[in-house]
Structure formats: structure tokens, C-alpha cells
Structure 1
Amino acid sequence: MAYVLGSLSPGDRLAYERHLSACPPCEHEVCLLAGTAGLLSRVPAEWAVDSLTTAPPLPVTVLPGLAQAELAVRRRRLAITVVAILLAATVGAVLAHFLCP
């Protein structure tokens, strides 16, 4: 995207153009993005600034829900780890009992 918008340094631009000449997938992507700069230039600067500064706040209920979901994932991982360790210890004890005279 930086290449299409013309925001690369001259050295980076030259290196990227060398890459493009040898990489058809990247060249195709650049062709797909070529009109983006023209479209973005039509957006009034005030709109662009407003869209960055007036993002709606997250609802108060979102963060506790995310924290609760993360806690559930961590508890599940801990439980699985404990069960795996206990299972490995049990298998080791049973094998030791049968293999050692």
C-alpha cells in the first residue's frame, strides 16, 4: 500500500520495483490497489481526521466479557495440563511397577 500511495523512500521504492518485476503475485496486487490513491484523494481531509478521532467507544459490557472468556480459556488450559501431567505420572508408575523387579 505504501508503494501505491507513493510514501516509500526512493531507495525502498527502487528495491520494491525490482521485486515487482520478478513477482507476478505482488505485481497483480499493486494493479488491484492502483486506484486506491485516486479514491482516497477525493475524501475531504476533515472526514479522514474525523474518522480517526471519533471512533465509538466500546460498550461497558464488552471488556468484562472478554476478560471472562480469557479466564475460561486459561482455566481450561491449566486443567488439561494438570490432567496430562497426572496421566503421564500414572503411566510412568504403572510401567515402573511392571518393568522393575
Structure 2
Amino acid sequence: MSETVTANGRNGQVTFDGKTVTIAREGFAARASHGRGEKSIPIRQIAAVQFKPNALTTVGFIQFTVPGEQSSRTSKGGRTMDAAKDENAVLFAKKAEPEFIALRDAVRAAIAEL
């Protein structure tokens, strides 16, 4: 993959360049939940991609599973609330969903190529 895919969410921006997923935290919502900063995850370290589309009453999210890291899952149900606390997840609104679908598909394709 040579094209960079970027998706702007509510609590962060995710960029995938074909080799690395980078989650950048800017803005009030990002700083309030995770602090300001950036996290890069090499594609070889991503075991799975969880994707939840927007629903009538909840925002969607994309979450990257990295073996050896603690998940933020704290309760049964409430997946969106758990994702909001996870440093490997980004929430997104309905209008940004197509960007996140493209991102999800690109990351899954790269994982499959490994």
C-alpha cells in the first residue's frame, strides 16, 4: 500500500501509511480523555481491528488490538464507553464513518498480507 489513509474522529485522528497506524490526540475531547500526544503502532503488532458503526444513539469507534497491552474493557456491554477510554481506539461521528471504513479496510488488508 502506498497511499496514506487518514480519518478524523471525535477524540483523535488516525493515519495509516501501509506500515504504521498513528493515533494523534489533538483538541479538547482528545486531551480530556487521553492527553495530548501521538501513538504509533507497527502493523505487525496489530492482532485485530474492531469496528462499530454509528447507531441511532451512539457514536462509532475503531479499536486496534495489540497483544500484551491491557484493554480498557471494564464492564459487560458499554463497548463505546470502554473504547472512549482505550488509547488504541478512536470514536467517530456519522459524517466521518466513510473515512473510518476506508481506514479499517486498509488496515485489515495489510494485516492479511502479513
Q: With structure 2 as the length reference, what TM-score do the two structures score?
A: 0.23
Task: Indicate the structure (1 or 2) with the bigger Cα radius of gyration.
Answer: 1
Higher strand share: 2
Give the TM-score normalised by the residue count of structure 1.
0.25
Higher helix share: 1
